[in-house]
C-alpha cells in the first residue's frame, strides 16, 4: 500500500493505493488517525485500492468513530469495485 495526502481547506484527502490487508492496516491507521486527531476532516479516496480485508474495514470503522468523537467529517470517496464488494458483504452482517 502506498498513499498520498492532499490538503484542501481543512480537509485532508488521503489517496490509498494497492492492497489493504493485515500486513499494512497499521500503516493505514497511522496515516489516517493522526489527521483526524488533529481536527481535520478526512476524505479517503479508495479508487486505487485493489483489495481490502477485514483489517482494512477495521481501520475504516476506527476512523469513523474517532471522527465522530472529534466532531470532524470522515468520508469514503471513489470506492473501487473490489472494496465496494467487501463493504457490501460487511453491511449484510451489521
Give residue-wise pLDDT tens across range 49-91.
999 999 999 999 999 999 999 999 999 999 999 999 999 988 8
Alpha helices in the chain (DSSP H): 25-37, 54-70, 81-93
Residue whose cell numbers read 479508495: 46
Residue whose cell numbers read 479516496: 45
* CATH number where 43 lies: 3.30.750.24
Q: How many domains does the chain have?
A: 1
The gap from C-alpha 83 to its chain's centroid, in whole angstroms, comes to 11
Query: What's the pLDDT tens digit per position in 17-58?
Result: 999 999 999 999 999 999 999 999 999 999 999 999 999 999
Residue whose cell numbers read 475504516: 60
Beta strands 41-52; 2-8: pairing state? unpaired
**What residues have CB less than 8 Å from 62, skipping those under 6 apart?**
29, 33
Query: What's the pLDDT tens digit per position in 1-11?
Result: 899 999 999 89
Amino acid at each position: 500500500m502506498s498513499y498520498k495526502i492532499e490538503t484542501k481547506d481543512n480537509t485532508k484527502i488521503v489517496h490509498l493505493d494497492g492492497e489493504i490487508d493485515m500486513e499494512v492496516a497499521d500503516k493505514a491507521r497511522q496515516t489516517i488517525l493522526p489527521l483526524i486527531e488533529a481536527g481535520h476532516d478526512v476524505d479517503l479516496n479508495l479508487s486505487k485500492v485493489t483489495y481490502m480485508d477485514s483489517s482494512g474495514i477495521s481501520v475504516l470503522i476506527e476512523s469513523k468513530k474517532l471522527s465522530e468523537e472529534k466532531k470532524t467529517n470522515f468520508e469514503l470517496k471513489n470506492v473501487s469495485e473490489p472494496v465496494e464488494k467487501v463493504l457490501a458483504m460487511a453491511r449484510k452482517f451489521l
